Amino acid sequence: MIIRFLPIALATVLPAIAQDAPGTATPAKPVEGHGHATGAAPASGLKKELIEGLTEKDFIKLGDKEKTVKILLVATWSDENYGMNFNGFAKGGAVYTIPKDWTVEVTFINPGPVPHSLLVIEKENTKKIQMAEPYFEGAAVPKHLQGISYGKASFSFSANEAGEYAFACGFPAHSINGHWIGLDVSAEAKVPRLKVGDKAAVEVAK
């Protein structure tokens, strides 16, 4: 008995069942979740001389007097959150902790063309469309609702009440879109500290 072996190239008869997978096309829209693009373009149009020489070490320092801390907050430090950040962080991604009853000397810089500002509000108020007034006396740059472009301003305040606050931008709709970082005033803390992202908090000492 002879078996005739007839090889068949099966591959040639397999139907083309694979359909075009949806979603392979280039997305037409950017990722949602922000909802308020201001057109901030940190990479361009910055007045570099306003931030020349500044490093992360300048973000928190002990002041010259006892129980005084110097804080530097730069809007549009990076592209994070469309430039609506302080020192590169938004949405509470960085948190300053200040011992209660210390004096906080704040320098605010906005090197870019999109107006930003800075004031201290209660943390829960970051979610409100209507910007609250500064929680501590004097804890705001001038004209905090109008904001400042290409500029610098400073203020100081006494952190005389423990609680959870925020350094927030007072320009309309910025805070609710994430332009704020945390400020805890603590009755337990002995020295100021700064926590950024998932890193451990760093204390400032002489």
Q: Which residues bind Cu ion (CB under 5 A)?
A: 84, 116, 169, 171, 174, 179
Which one, 70 or 174, has the nearer CB to Cu ion? 174
Smallest separation (angstroms) from Cu ion to the CB of 142: 15
Q: Please return the burial class of 121, using the count of CB atoms within 10 Å of its CB with bins 0-12, 13-18 and 19+.
A: buried
- The amino acid sitting at 206 is K
Buried b (16+ CB within 10 A) or exposed e, 49-66: eebeebeeeebbbbbeee
Which one, 80 or 192, has the nearer CB to Cu ion? 80
172 with 69: CB under 8 angstroms? no
Which one, 148 or 185, has the nearer CB to Cu ion? 148
Smallest separation (angstroms) from Cu ion to the CB of 103: 25
Residue closest to Cu ion when measured from CB atoms: 169
Smallest separation (angstroms) from Cu ion to the CB of 19: 46
Which one, 77 or 136, has the nearer CB to Cu ion? 77
What is the sign, positive or negative, of the torsion defined by CA atoms of 78, 82, 84, 89? negative
Smallest separation (angstroms) from Cu ion to the CB of 107: 16
Which one, 174 or 193, has the nearer CB to Cu ion? 174
C-alpha–C-alpha distance, residues 200 and 99, integer Å: 18
Which one, 60 or 73, has the nearer CB to Cu ion? 73
Smallest separation (angstroms) from Cu ion to the CB of 139: 16
181 with 164: CB under 8 angstroms? no
Give the tokens for residue 21. Answer: 């997978």
Smallest separation (angstroms) from Cu ion to the CB of 178: 9
Side-chain-side CA neighbours of 201 within 13 Å: the count stands at: 17
CA angle, 129 then 92 then 117, to 5°: 55
